[in-house]
Amino acid sequence: MLDKVLVTGSRGMLGRNICDHLSSMSFNLLTPDHATLDLLDFSQTSNFLHTHKPDIIIHCAGVVGGIQANMAQPALFLADNMRIGMNIIYSAYREGVKFFLNMGSSCMYPANSPHALTEDMILSGPLEPTNEGYAIAKCAATRLCQYITNQDSEFHYKTIVPCNLYGKYDKFDPVSSHMIPAIIQKIDYAINHDLTDVEIWGDGTARREFMYAGDLAMLVGRALLQFAELPDVMNAGIGRDYTVNEYYTTIGNILGYKGQFYHNTAKPAGMRRKLVDIARQQAFGFTPAHTLEEGIRQTYEWYKTIQACKSHME
């Protein structure tokens, strides 16, 4: 029974959603903050695992950001994420933690594939330049998990590779956030300031797949109960993608935006398409619960809640 669960990155968007769900399933959670567990420090990481002896680690921690942040600091995204991944995975192995669930990213896949991305495509081609540093670190962590499992059958180190995520606890900042929360913030700002134009980077035809983070948390909960059946690497997604223009239109309709959108083709748009193949997820028996519209509505409600809190504090 995997009862004592260490969740790294438990203060981040994905980690908080996972902790909420696992708490409802009565798991015994370890959720150290950065001051208690600095994953950039190998000795501190090893000592924490030696002291607390988790049954399984769910690794969500990392330095994350949108296109602007990745392009501005590629060295940081590579170096810190590489150290974080190597430290927690290898410390877990040395300290005898037999079960490990590593959270990957769909940016690990080759850029601009016209087809849905299957798990065997990792490291099969050039990465998208706008987030290459982060992707290299994620690829390295996934490979280390596979090496450990392959060389020692007592250890079960597996990776879930989610598509893009959004939802409760997300960051709503046009510089550091990912696409959906950035769009929500931009359109809400436009509505509140009577703006009639909202900028879209690129021509808006690039396609993206987004999964509600609460659904991924549900998948993680099932994985803990059926860890033996979980593939060593498995995509997590909704099985379809939308254009950037469609995301802007959908979010605009939900928020009640009456203005126009314009395209800034001088700005980078990232990969043309990034859709993960979910055949393994389907075989595992999991289907996401939220439609895009339902997920965006719930995310917008969360956004309004935190905006109200900020206004009250001011």
Q: How far apart are CA 182 and CA 165, in angstroms?
A: 12
Instruction: Give 306's DSSP letter.
Output: H
Alpha helices in the chain (DSSP H): 13-24, 42-52, 67-72, 74-94, 132-151, 179-192, 213-225, 244-255, 279-284, 292-313
Place of tokens 């995301």: 247
Dihedral through CA 49, CA 102, CA 302, CA 63, nearest 10?
Answer: 80
What phi-psi label fits residue 239: left (phi over 0), alpha (psi between -120 and 50 degrees) or beta? Answer: left
Q: How far apart are CA 217 and CA 203, in angstroms?
A: 33
Show the tokens assigned to 138.
Answer: 């994620």
- Laid out side by side, the sheet with 28-30 consists of 28-30, 4-8, 56-59, 99-103, 156-162, 233-236
Q: Which residues pair with 208 in a beta bridge?
A: 242, 274
Q: Give Cβ neighbours of residue 205 (< 8 Å, ≥ 6 apart).
A: 243, 244, 245, 272
Active-site residue, 303 included? no
**Nearest Cα residue to 162 out of 209, 206, 122:** 209
Catalytic residue among 93, 134, 166, 169: 134
Show the tokens assigned to 173.
Answer: 């900042």
List, by residue number, the catalytic residues: 134
